[in-house]
Structure 1
């Protein structure tokens, strides 16, 4: 097997754009590439375009309902018909909703599916050990409707493709602050796909699911693990729960490949959630996943993007740290040697897109949490998280 890591360079990501004011904005990808380039950490020879476009269309039709796909295609026209517009709310694509339709939506969403499938194929075929497709990770889409900014579920499509072509056992890891509901329900009865999601409790956050009692069903019982975090959870508790869950799941399930989703909205700065973690979890979590991939799956690891709505202060650093770990970049040594990770490149950011925040941009790779206001109820939150973890793990090995 090859030992390289590849970056799926997907031009469809810029076309997947709801509006300039929508929180799911492709400027996040632009800023991440900008940071990595300024750091000298994005080797152009490792960047490859996606293929499998025809295969992606076939897989989309295999996992999504025909009437939903047809409506997506009709709403993708520059001037959708009155009939299509009247059906948009039924499929989660209303103009004033969270996932509004936009021109060429089908083509852009299918392009993201092709990217995630290409990453999976590269790893499973042995052309690469690890592959990153940051425009992917649209984990909320369901067979019959869009949800949570997600039109087609590229993560589910990549897993379905792996299962069909290679027959491999897939451990899916979702670290987005929002429960990975779409992927979970696609494979809820499949014993060969293990879904692990760590997220803010659905008691307070969209999509209102992902509780410890969601454990899979029928033959898939025991192949679903939900780690529900209390609001204002901080680094130590988040990392402790994630590590225990990850190690238990990998040991019991023995995966052939890991597919992970890396929404970075569990950061304290994110405006759409209540978890209070720092950049530390985005340094440690990829390191844990890579170690598990090497121990159980011969290193095979496909990573996808996802949520993250502090476009300037959080997403570029978090996704850059993911790439640095996947590509085993020497810059990690200096980041790990400093409490704040060391300075960011002075030339970053040099992106003029979108609007900058009113607060100062970070100057270091990690956060100075000592300057943050201490969270009240820290001990109580930690105990609740540990209890939720204990309940969730009862059915795992």
Structure 2
């Protein structure tokens, strides 16, 4: 059995709304190039994704929504009808062949699932996925089909296993949560910036699930400008309790890196320290609770040059047992991308903190996060 499998093909770059849209899958290619130039990723580690079938999409998505996405991508859906399905908005504009491009992203995540659940690999990573705002019948927040929800339902139906879904994106994983809100064999855990200031405005501590799913939806909303130490404390404490209680068969994690202090769309204040920590903590939980079974996807992250490749690389490095590297990035990677970078190009694996501003409200923010943690622990 392989220790870890990496799902990638250049075709996934065609999931692209337009040239100015902040969701840019070039970040996946850049992460792949960084890992390969540093020789942490080899060609034999990479598996090409398959395309999801219509039946697989229908595990969580309505036929009417799938049909609307297909028509929209071929110019056959009028504006009024598109709006019913969350299509054609500023966040989720229509682009050519969007149904076909989205099916490949879902298929990439399913390829990762199959690698682990069929016993070919202990862990698998598909950074193209993580589209957690997609709902059963509508798109939202850059997300068309919800690959994570399709994958989790695939695990439930085909393999009959319990799944712990861990979402560390700065934005609440609303679509995935609500798809499984009434299930007791999927626990959704989301740590995110409070919805008081940030899309989608959900993820309150009181969102605990419904019917037999009550208690299996876990939310930890953090105060804006939360820093590394506070994040790591509340994250590790609550997640450890959640996994002890739930006892999953497999971990599925969404690894948005938009809570980095340089991300332009959010208000958290994390550095590379947290993004080195998160996947290694998840890996330690997988080793203790799920016989190492861990499937990971990407998610948010909108500072393409300064943040995403280095932070996402840490997920693969954690999967393969590598300690977080220090010092200069590979020369080949720098030579390939530095001249294209419109901002300050990062030269080191770890963050250079010349532009990091410590928040005067640190004590207050930390205390508020601890109070939120204590409330959550009462539900766990």
Question: Normalization by structure 1: what TM-score?
Answer: 0.92
1:88 matched residue in structure 2:
82
Matches within 5 A, 1:1-397: 2-51=1-50, 53=51, 56-77=53-74, 80-81=75-76, 83-94=77-88, 96-329=89-322, 332=323, 335=325, 341-351=326-336, 356-358=341-343, 360-369=344-353, 372-396=356-380
When structure 1 is superposed on structure 2, of 294-303 and 382-391 the one drifting more is: 382-391
Distance 2:310 2:337 in 1: 18
Structure 1 residues 330-372: Cα deviation after superposition (integer angstroms, max 9, x where no partner): xx26x2xxxxx322122223446996233x2122111244763
Listed as ranges, the gaps of 5+ residues in structure 2 are: none
* SS class of match (2:374): helix
User: Is 1:115–1:136's contact at 8 Å kept on the other side of the alignment?
Assistant: yes
User: Is 2:334–2:347's contact at 8 Å kept on the other side of the alignment?
Assistant: no
Is the alpha carbon distance of 1:343 and 1:382 closer, same or farther for their aligned partners in structure 2, counting shifts above 3 Å?
Answer: same
Distance 2:30 2:254 in 1: 19
Question: In angstroms, what is the RMSD of aligned CA positions?
Answer: 1.6
- Residue 314 of structure 1 and its aligned partner are, at CA, apart by 0.5
Structure 1 residues 18-75: Cα deviation after superposition (integer angstroms, max 9, x where no partner): 0111100122112111211221111110101123x35x32121231111111110001
* SS class of match (1:32): helix
Structure 1 residues 206-245: Cα deviation after superposition (integer angstroms, max 9, x where no partner): 0000010011111011111101010000000011111011
Distance 1:354 1:91 in 2: 40
Distance 1:111 1:164 in 2: 21
- Residue 279 of structure 1 and its aligned partner are, at CA, apart by 0.7
Q: How many residues align?
A: 380
User: Is 1:138–1:153's contact at 8 Å kept on the other side of the alignment?
Assistant: yes
User: Is 1:74–1:84's contact at 8 Å kept on the other side of the alignment?
Assistant: no
Distance 2:135 2:216 in 1: 19
User: Is 2:126–2:297's contact at 8 Å kept on the other side of the alignment?
Assistant: yes
User: Is 1:75–1:85's contact at 8 Å kept on the other side of the alignment?
Assistant: no
User: Is 1:228–1:389's contact at 8 Å kept on the other side of the alignment?
Assistant: no
- Residue 327 of structure 1 and its aligned partner are, at CA, apart by 1.6
Is the alpha carbon distance of 1:344 and 1:354 closer, same or farther for their aligned partners in structure 2, counting shifts above 3 Å?
Answer: closer
Distance 2:240 2:280 in 1: 13
Listed as ranges, the gaps of 5+ residues in structure 1 are: 336-340
- Residue 12 of structure 1 and its aligned partner are, at CA, apart by 3.7
- Residue 249 of structure 1 and its aligned partner are, at CA, apart by 0.8
Distance 2:186 2:359 in 1: 37
User: Is 1:133–1:304's contact at 8 Å kept on the other side of the alignment?
Assistant: yes
User: Is 2:167–2:253's contact at 8 Å kept on the other side of the alignment?
Assistant: yes
Is the alpha carbon distance of 1:266 and 1:20 closer, same or farther for their aligned partners in structure 2, counting shifts above 3 Å?
Answer: same
Distance 2:161 2:195 in 1: 31
* SS class of match (1:195): strand
When structure 1 is superposed on structure 2, of 39-48 and 85-94 the one drifting more is: 85-94
- Residue 395 of structure 1 and its aligned partner are, at CA, apart by 1.3
Distance 1:131 1:227 in 2: 26
* SS class of match (1:202): coil
